[in-house]
Amino acid sequence: MKLVVAIIKPFKLDEVKEALRSIGVNGLTTTDVQGFGRQRGHTEVYRGAEYQVDFVPKVKVEVMAHDDQVDQIVDAILKTGRTGKIGDGKIFVMPAEQVFRIRTGERGPDAI
Amino acid sequence: MPKIDTGDTAWMLASAALVMFMTPGLGLFYGGLVRAKNVLATLMQSFVALALVSVLWAVIGYTLAFGPDKGLVIGGLKYLGLHGVGADPAGLAPTIPSSVFMVFQMMFAVITPALITGAFAERMKFSGWLLFLGLWSLVVYSPVAHWVWGGGFLGVGHLGALDFAGGTVVHINAGVAALACAIYLGKRRGFGSEAFRPHNVPLVILGAAILWFGWFGFNAGSALGANGLAGSAFVTTQLATAAAVFGWLIPEWIKHKRATTVGAATGAVAGLVAITPASGFVGPMPAILIGLIAGGVCFFAVNLKSRMGYDDSLDVVGVHMIGGIVGALLTGVFASVAINAAGANGGLGQLGKQAIAVAVTLAYSFVVTMGILKLSDKLVGLRVTVDDEAAGLDLSQHSEVGYNFSERGGHVVHSPVVEATAITRDAAVEPEEVRE
Question: Parallel, antiparallel, or unpaired: how do β-strands B69-70 and A49-53 relate?
Answer: unpaired
Is A53's CB within 8 Å of B260's CB? no
Instruction: Using alpha carbons, select from B328, B361, B309, B313 the residue that is nearest to residue B117.
Output: B313
DSSP assignment of B16-35: HHHHHHHHHHHHHHHHHHS-
- Residue B434: pLDDT above 50? no
Average pLDDT, chain A: 94
List, in sequence order, every beta strand (DSSP E) within B66-155: 69-70, 74-75
- Residue B433: pLDDT above 70? no
B99 touches chain A (CB under 8 A): no
B197 touches chain A (CB under 8 A): yes
> Is residue B247 helix, strand or coil?
helix
Distance from CA of B333 to the nearest CA of A (A): 29
Q: Does residue B373 lie within any of the structural domains? A: yes
**Cα B421 from Cα B19, distance rounded (Å):** 46
Is B197's CB within 8 Å of A44's CB? yes
Distance from CA of B237 to the nearest CA of A (A): 23
Query: 10 Å Cβ neighbour count for B181?
Result: 27
Instruction: Provide the CATH number for the domain around residue B217.
Output: 1.10.3430.10
What ipTM goes with this model? 0.80
* pLDDT tens digits along A8-43: 999 999 999 999 999 999 999 999 999 998 888 888
Q: For B263, which of A47, A51, A52 is closest by C-beta distance?
A: A47
- Residue B423: pLDDT above 80? no
Distance from CA of A48 to the nearest CA of B (A): 6
Mean pLDDT of B396-412: 86
Residues in chain A with CB shorter than 8 Å from the CB of B262 are 46-47
- Residue B419: pLDDT above 80? no
> Is residue A60 helix, strand or coil?
strand
* pLDDT tens digits along B23-82: 999 999 999 999 999 999 999 999 999 999 999 999 999 999 999 999 999 999 999 999
**Cα B411 from Cα B142, distance rounded (Å):** 48
Domain that holds residue B90: 6-391
Distance from CA of A32 to the nearest CA of B (A): 14
Tell me how far CA of residue A21 lies from CA of A5, A16, A17, A67, A112, in angstroms.
Answer: 16, 9, 6, 17, 14
The amino acid at residue B405 is F
Question: Parallel, antiparallel, or unpaired: how do β-strands A56-65 and B69-70 relate?
Answer: unpaired
**A46, closest residue in chain B (CA to CA):** B262
Q: For A45, which of B256, B299, B302 is closest by C-beta distance?
A: B256
Helix (H) or strand (E) run with residue B366 in it: helix B348-379
**Cα B71 from Cα B278, distance rounded (Å):** 27
Is A48's CB within 8 Å of B299's CB? yes
Q: Which residues contact B78 (CB under 8 A, 6 or more apart)?
A: B63, B67, B68, B84
Is A51's CB within 8 Å of B255's CB? no
- Residue A76: pLDDT above 90? yes
Query: 10 Å Cβ neighbour count for B406?
Result: 7
* pLDDT tens digits along B196-226: 999 999 999 999 999 999 999 999 999 999 9
Is B256's CB within 8 Å of A53's CB? no
**Cα B411 from Cα B169, distance rounded (Å):** 49
**Cα B134 from Cα B129, distance rounded (Å):** 9
Question: Parallel, antiparallel, or unpaired: how do β-strands B69-70 and A42-46 relate?
Answer: unpaired
Is A46's CB within 8 Å of B260's CB? yes
Q: Which residues contact B178 (CB under 8 A, 6 or more apart)?
A: B115, B116, B118, B119, B120, B312, B316, B317, B320, B321
Instruction: Using alpha carbons, select from B35, B127, B60 the residue that is nearest to residue B401.
Output: B35
CATH number of A2-111: 3.30.70.120
**Cα B285 from Cα B287, distance rounded (Å):** 5
pTM: 0.90
The amino acid at residue B249 is L
Average pLDDT, chain B: 94
Instruction: Using alpha carbons, select from B200, B225, B181 the residue that is nearest to residue B43.
Output: B200
Tell me how far CA of residue B252 lies from CA of A54, A104, B317, in angstroms.
Answer: 23, 62, 19
**Cα B370 from Cα B425, distance rounded (Å):** 51
The amino acid at residue A30 is T
Residues in chain B with CB shorter than 8 Å from the CB of A53 are 195
DSSP assignment of B180-215: HHHHHH-PPTTTTTS----S-HHHHHHHHHHHHHHH
* pLDDT tens digits along B350-390: 999 999 999 999 999 999 999 999 999 999 999 999 999 99
What is the per-residue burial (b if ≥16 Cβ within 10 Å, else e) of B253-263?
eeebeebbebb
**Cα A16 from Cα A3, distance rounded (Å):** 16
Is A47's CB within 8 Å of B256's CB? no
pLDDT at residue B432, rounded to an integer: 52
Is B302's CB within 8 Å of A51's CB? no
- Residue B430: pLDDT above 60? no
Distance from CA of B240 to the nearest CA of A (A): 20
Tell me how far CA of residue B219 lies from CA of B200, B278, B332, in angstroms.
Answer: 29, 9, 17
* pLDDT tens digits along B298-353: 999 999 987 888 999 999 999 999 999 999 999 999 999 999 999 999 999 999 99
**For chain B, percent of residues with pLDDT exceeding 70:** 95
Residues in chain B with CB shorter than 8 Å from the CB of A52 are 195
Instruction: Using alpha carbons, select from B207, B284, B214 the residue that is nearest to residue B242.
Output: B284
B260 touches chain A (CB under 8 A): yes
Instruction: Using alpha carbons, select from B76, B59, B229, B100 the residue that is nearest to residue B152.
Output: B76
Q: What domain count does chain B have?
A: 1
